[in-house]
Amino acid sequence: MKSPELNLCGLVAVRSRFEKDPASIKRLFFDEATGRKVGVICKALAAGRKVYRCVPAAELEKIAGSIHHGGIVAVIDAPKLRAPDARTVANWAAKRTPLVLLDRIGNAHNLGAIARTAAFFGVENIVIPAHPQAALPGEAAFRVSEGGLEQVEVWRTPDLAKLMRELAAAGYDVAGAAARGGKPVLLAGPAKPVAVVLGNEEHGLAADVERACTRLVTIPGSGRVESLNVSVAGAVLIYALLAGR
């Protein structure tokens, strides 16, 4: 069976992928202006006997399946999403690895934006549930992440609440973002490794996910608007609880 492919769009994403894993680029298409900036990548593809081609705008749009191709499209294998097992959890705990857990973030742009922020702050692991509502790291997410998804591994677990209980048992501070009722977030936190859990855009944390948190945190607001955008709330929490650990 042929593995599913994914179009990586935009110069930042393509360059970022090339720097990290040049062999993973299977084919490359670009417009004339962008082609002048990717000579090195084309040379590597030529050496690997792979297709790279300058194409007219209309064709590039068709290949990308979007007008948001940014002048260049690299075809790669879609990332395989591993499920974290007991060994992974033990390994994370031993290394005090900061984690971002997303409880059914449904909008791929939000997933991409959160991945960009996570990568910026050095958070290298994001976990999503195997749930039909959860956005996957596809083309839109890769584009919005501006190279962030190249720096982050996205894991997929069949049972997010169960994983959270395993993380708590392994010593994690599992901090769930609650729109209200949680403790206010400040910079300082407990000395444990931290997993930040962000809920669905509309519905927040699911009941079983909320129960599996070791604490709930709320970003103190003025009350004048109901909420922050989830990628903004995620950024504040990643900055406050995970950055620089």
95: contact with a second copy by CB under 8 A: no
171: contact with a second copy by CB under 8 A: no
Nearer to a second copy, 113 or 135 (CB): 113
194: contact with a second copy by CB under 8 A: no
Query: In sequence order, which residues have a C-beta less than 8 Å from that of residue 112 and are 6 or more positions away?
Result: 137, 140, 141, 142, 143, 144, 145, 148, 149
Q: Could you say which of 86, 187, 191, 207 contacts a second copy (CB under 8 A)? A: 187
116: contact with a second copy by CB under 8 A: yes
Stretch of residues binding a second copy (CB under 8 A), selected from 131-139, 160-168, 170-178, 235-243? 235-243
Distance CA 2, CA 76 (A): 12
Q: Could you say which of 107, 192, 239, 245 contacts a second copy (CB under 8 A)? A: 239
Q: Could you say which of 84, 137, 147, 204 contacts a second copy (CB under 8 A)? A: 147
Q: Could you say which of 74, 126, 212, 235 contacts a second copy (CB under 8 A)? A: 235
Distance CA 174, CA 101 (A): 9
DSSP string spanning 73-115? EEEEEPPP-PPP-HHHHHHHHHHT--EEEES----HHHHHHHH
Distance CA 82, CA 127 (A): 10
46: contact with a second copy by CB under 8 A: no
